[in-house]
Amino acid sequence: MNSPVAKKLKILLANPPAREPAGPGMERYFIKAGSRWPWSYIKKISDICLPPFPFYLAYAAAVLEREEFVVEVIDGVALNIQEDEFIRRTREIAPDVLVIETVMHAFQHDLRIIRELKDDNPDLRVILTGPFVTVFAQNIIRDYPFIDLVLRGEYEFVLAEVMKRWSRGEDIQDLTGVAFRNGGGDPIISSKAFIKDINLLPGPAFKLFPCNDQPDMTCYTDGVCTYRPMVTLHSSRGCPFKCDFCLWNQVMYGNGPWRPFNARRVVDEMEYVIREFKAREIYFDDDDFCISKEHVLDICRGILDRGMKIKWSCMGDAMVTDEEMIATMAEAGCIFMKFGVESGNREVLKKIGKPLDPERAVEVSKWCRKHGIMTHATFVLGLYGDTMASMRDTVRLANRIKFDYAQVSIATPFPGTRMYDKLLEEGAIKDLDYSRFDGAQSCVFNTESLSAQEIENFRKKTIRQLILHKMMDPGWWKNYLRRSFILYKEYGFLRTVEPLKALLRL
């Protein structure tokens, strides 16, 4: 029997824009693909947006290109375009398949765009990916007939296999990581996909982003990055720690093992982005760059052995990092590190499953300052078990940590996390308005100890207090002014006044 003739599918990988009015001249801008937790911020409509790089779409694009599919990309968030412009561009491309990595707080925005595109072209096949649809795959397949397929978990290889089978007119019923309708319209849901060896992934398809005809890495960044062009890389996936609020580790990875890329591959990718994109800074946006001391030192030795003169930064931790690691990272060019503190209360840390000694966070910040690495510490208010007293412990600890920048978030119980399950069982989650699941804007639960309004108000006061406290620290001013001068030369005036802008907005 002759095998089916494969049709050459055109596949559009997309990160549609989502924005809402937020007063005269202002808008709520949604950060979507590329971020491990959905959030938004209020900005002037005229301001540019510098979002994180959408890595999973980029790996998926590279896998599809390797299989010789026609791949188009539109990252509407990075392009800072309106929804109607995204729709216009999609119509011009006329894809056979549209793949969107959607997020909880912007899900309704994405649905509205998909409906309009489907009305134009009923033959368009739509695939959704991401943690939100991974959790609610059955509901989405049941409730939204214009969604053809949901990919659950790590989707890069699964997407390529689906495209090969669709091209040949074959079914996908035996695949892991898919949710779809059978011939009778009933949902078929398989278990989540998981990539055991991430070294099988090709390098990200950087040259397709933010869109094929406008490749430009300068439209992506992270708040800790100083120099441009900046390019984001991964050195690993996953995390062995079990924080109950962590979305990607629980939902996308299923609390699977930490998986490193080969250190030589990592350094090779660094050389590639320096050569191809003239990168002057690299940001390692791992779930936790510092999990393995051996892995970190191998990367640092690779940088030093090749004589690479590149500045880099990373998302690390204060749990397993020691001074030798910090010193070696600094020698190899590290200039900035993020690390999660979350709470200053030992009982709360125990309840959420984070094995951090708060005193360790103080030590790590001192080591970083000693070796010339600036720091960005993250704190979360309203964690499971938090009270007004424990949140005050967090503020007291924050005032002792020698960080240069900080992020203060509202604990958000994303579906699929243990935090969500516990609060839902206790009846603490006050609504299921998806747009409010946004740790930078709102709290969605009330407990016996704290109301949502108390947590939101406490966050505003905490940010003011931390900024004012830092202004009393001569060491902070030294680093802030030095970095601000560089940011002014690299990005212009707006990036130099971010802490002041944050203070004035509250």
User: What phi and psi, each to the nearest 5 degrees, are found at residue 341?
Assistant: -105, -45
pLDDT at 430: 75
In CATH, which superfamily holds the domain spanning 10-189?
A: Cobalamin-binding domain (3.40.50.280)
- Work out the angle at residue 337's Cα, subtended by the Cα atoms of residues 333 and 339, and round it to the nearest 5 degrees: 155
Token pair belonging to 342: 């979350």
pLDDT at 429: 93
Token pair belonging to 296: 């970190």
pLDDT at 462: 96
* Structural domain boundaries in the chain: 10-189, 221-505
pLDDT at 506: 44
Alpha carbon distance 298, 62 (integer Å): 26
pLDDT at 501: 56
Q: Classify domain 221-505 by CATH architecture.
A: Alpha-Beta Horseshoe (3.80)
Grade residue 495 by pLDDT with cuts at 50, 70 and 90.
low
Token pair belonging to 165: 């089978």
Alpha carbon distance 284, 335 (integer Å): 12
Q: Across the chain, what does the average pLDDT equal?
A: 94
pLDDT at residue 431 tops 80:
no
β-strand partners of 183: none
Residue 355, preceding peptide bond in cis (omega within 30° of 0): no
With pLDDT > 70 as the criterion, what percentage of the chain qualifies? 96
For the entire predicted model, the pTM comes to 0.95
pLDDT at residue 249 tops 70:
yes
Alpha carbon distance 386, 399 (integer Å): 19
pLDDT at residue 55 tops 90:
yes
Q: Mention every residue, 6+ apart, whose C-beta is less than 8 A from residue 208.
A: 58, 61, 71, 72, 73, 215
Strand, helix or coil at 376? strand
pLDDT at 47: 86
Grade residue 494 by pLDDT with cuts at 50, 70 and 90.
low
Provide mean pLDDT across the span 455-467: 94
pLDDT at 499: 52
Token pair belonging to 80: 């800072």
Nearest to 327 by CA among 304, 343, 306: 304
Provide mean pLDDT across the span 391-419: 96
